[in-house]
Amino acid sequence: MVVEENQTIPTNPRVEEDDLEEGEIIADDDSSSSNPANAPLLHQPHPLEHSWTFWFDNPSAKSKQAAWGSSIRPIYTFSTVEEFWSMYNSIHHPSKLAPGADFHCFKFKIEPKWEDPICSNGGKWTMTFQKGKSDTCWLYTLLAMIGEQFDHGDEICGAVVNVRARQEKISIWTKNAANEEAQVSIGRQWKEFLDYKETIGFIFHDDAKKLDRGAKNRYTV
């Protein structure tokens, strides 16, 4: 499924219930009541294969004493193309977020934490960008995920953009890190979708938990 903005209606039934009549086609005569072909038409939503949730980790809410992930909060769940664009067009993009912010988009009911049972045996691919240069690639990553463009899309948990003072990183989290074939396929396709030329690496969450920044890439593409 290709998610295109121009196929959508910005009306979001969860947000703007007063706009339900938008898009009606009204006949010029009274025949609409007797002829179904002339009846008012409403735009139909385009459902996604999965529902997805945006999560935000506010840098101002973080503290050194707090447990990792304790400041992450879900902000919106969407299940149609229209809801996605309604939300995406109303939020700050990575280049406008404060340093230290983490913005996630994960499948519904999967939390962006190592401790989540679906994420616990997984890992992540990561791309690095200059400060303020990740906006387009973040959007293309989201569209590829929610549009089910990956051959091993069932392996994907979600994606996160990490905004830091000197750079930005985008990562795709997956379920089964030991499934090398699936992980390498996801990494290669992701690079193709974004036309990303640099080598990217895949780190197991288990390694990251034990070794922190000392964790090494298990796969590269």
**pLDDT computed for residue 151 by the predictor:** 98
**pLDDT computed for residue 150 by the predictor:** 98
**pLDDT computed for residue 63 by the predictor:** 56
Residue 173: C-alpha distances to residues 82, 120, 153 (Å): 25, 10, 11
Written as six digits, the tokens of 160 are 């996160």
**pLDDT computed for residue 11 by the predictor:** 38
Q: Where are the alpha helices (DSSP H) in the chain?
A: 81-88, 135-146, 180-194, 205-211
**pLDDT computed for residue 71 by the predictor:** 78
pTM score of the predicted model: 0.79
For the chain, the C-alpha Rg in angstroms (whole number) is 20
Domains in the chain (CATH in brackets) are 47-220 (3.30.760.10)
**pLDDT computed for residue 43 by the predictor:** 77
Per-position pLDDT tens, the chain of length 221: 555 555 433 334 343 444 444 343 334 444 444 454 554 556 789 999 999 999 998 776 555 555 556 679 999 999 999 999 999 999 999 999 999 999 999 999 999 999 999 999 999 999 999 999 999 999 999 999 999 999 999 999 999 999 999 999 999 999 999 999 999 999 999 999 999 999 999 999 999 988 877 889 999 99
Angle at alpha carbon of residue 158, lines to 194 and 149, rounded to 5° = 45
